[in-house]
Amino acid sequence: MTAATGPSFGMDPELQKKIGFTILALVIYRVGAHIFAPGVNVQAVTDFIRNSAAAGFFGLYDTLGGGLSRATVFALGIMPYISASIIFQLAGGIVPSIGKMQKDEEGKKKITQWTRYTTVAIALAQAYTFAVFTESIPGAVPLPTFWTRLSMVVVLTTGAIFVMWLGEQITERGIGNGMSLLITFSILDRLWPGLVQMLGFWREGALSLGKIALYGIILASVVAAVTAMHLAARRIPVQIPRKVMGRGRMTQGQKTFIPIRLITAGVMPIVFAQTIIIVPGTLASFTQNTWMRGMADFFTPGELPYDLTFAVLILLFSYFYTSIIFNSVDLAENLKKQGGFIPGVKPGASTADYIDNVLARVTLPGALFLALIAIIPVTMTKQLGFQQQFGGTSVLIVVGVLLDTIAQIQQHLTLRKYDSFMKAGRIKFRGRQQRFM
């Protein structure tokens, strides 16, 4: 008799192990995100941040996987690693030597190592800054000493390094992109408290069933729109002619395409724009400057100046970040080396210019959509009268990461089916059966 096994759901043992490891790592991450740092009055920190002008900054940090507002051991989350990755990604488009390293396998390994070192340095700086910040909050640290500050820095830095390692392990041994999944799981973890809060407002009479239904309809519409825009792409046709190989062999000509996504830059334009627009409020909270307080009041979320400035910043950063991550010159050169060409366009510089023009036209509707998705939650919060937990930025991250993870799972299943077909397949070749291995 054979031992009973659980349902496989059409997955092979390797994929089951990958998904199981990923779930285990995500659970460990969320458990650590609920363990408070030693020597800190968490309630005092949370109350102070909630009522300060820097609430937007801490909210952005929490959205991207951190837990600063709750002073947990994983308070810094994945943000130090994201900051380090962005630094080297931007440097690749500015510094030619780093850009060349990003195309080479050995260079990529070296940049990965530099990213880790930079992550540790950023984590140390952020941990020290947060330790000093918590000491300035009345009642947050009962007995502030050098050792309490040192322990806070060590705990937060170690937590950030562990989160970075955990994300890399998910990428290598699990399924999907580890860092992105950590952020996504952090966002989804806040969904249940948000629903409980909404239910509490309804019981108190602050929210009507009509407003809750309207919120649900808008959220579902946003998810559907984000999914459609994430998958939408402008396909540039490419023709690869036949090639003559050795001994008179010829390869068949191919027709393929270059997909240009409408949201090539992803969620990063919103992150950059939000980082800048919350600066006046954050500085006003720390400096108590009258002029900065006036600027913070001018850029009140939900007001026209805030919405217009936010939208313009998203447009600018959409074009800027797309130009950094999408190199049309390299793409045109690779096509030329392969003998491929875009019908009606000369290879080389003309191809690069054509791709740039298409990219510029495609980026505009994508950037406008990002601005709309980013502004809708702020307007909803003002109209409905409660702070919702699942904003436009969160939807963009969750939908994008889940779609990419599902695509990786489907790719894995397809490859496994192809391998099993090749191993089991038999054909007759010159009167004998041959088995493909």
- CATH top-level class of 207-390: mainly alpha
Q: What is the pLDDT of residue 323?
A: 83
Domain with CATH 1.10.3370.10 in the chain: 13-189, 207-390
Answer for the pair 73, 155: CB distance below 8 angstroms, yes or no. yes
* Cα-to-chain-centroid distance, residue 247: 49
Average pLDDT over residues 127-146: 83
pLDDT, tens only, 395-408: 888 888 888 888 88
Which pairing describes strands 432-435 and 426-429: parallel, antiparallel, or unpaired?
Answer: antiparallel
Answer for the pair 277, 313: CB distance below 8 angstroms, yes or no. yes
Global model pTM greater than 0.85: no
Three-class secondary structure of residue 280 per DSSP:
helix
**Among 38, 39, 129, 34, CA closest to 80:** 129
Contacts made by residues 324-327, CB under 8 angstroms, sequence distance 24+: 324/89, 324/90, 324/92, 324/93, 325/89, 325/93, 325/264, 325/265, 326/264, 326/359, 327/93
Taking the C-alpha atoms of residue 109 and residue 61, their distance in angstroms, rounded to an integer, is 28
pLDDT level of residue 196 (50, 70, 90 thresholds): confident
Q: Residue 80: is its pLDDT beyond 70? A: yes
Q: What is the pLDDT of residue 374?
A: 82
**Among 403, 325, 176, 136, CA closest to 168:** 176
Q: What is the pLDDT of residue 161?
A: 92
Q: Residues 13-189: name the CATH superfamily.
A: SecY subunit domain (1.10.3370.10)
Taking the C-alpha atoms of residue 212 and residue 216, their distance in angstroms, rounded to an integer, is 6
Start-to-end CA distance of the chain, whole Å, equals 31
Q: Which residue has the tokens 């900054």?
A: 57
Q: Which residue has the tokens 């602050």?
A: 206
Q: Residue 384: is its pLDDT beyond 70? A: no
Q: What is the pLDDT of residue 387?
A: 59
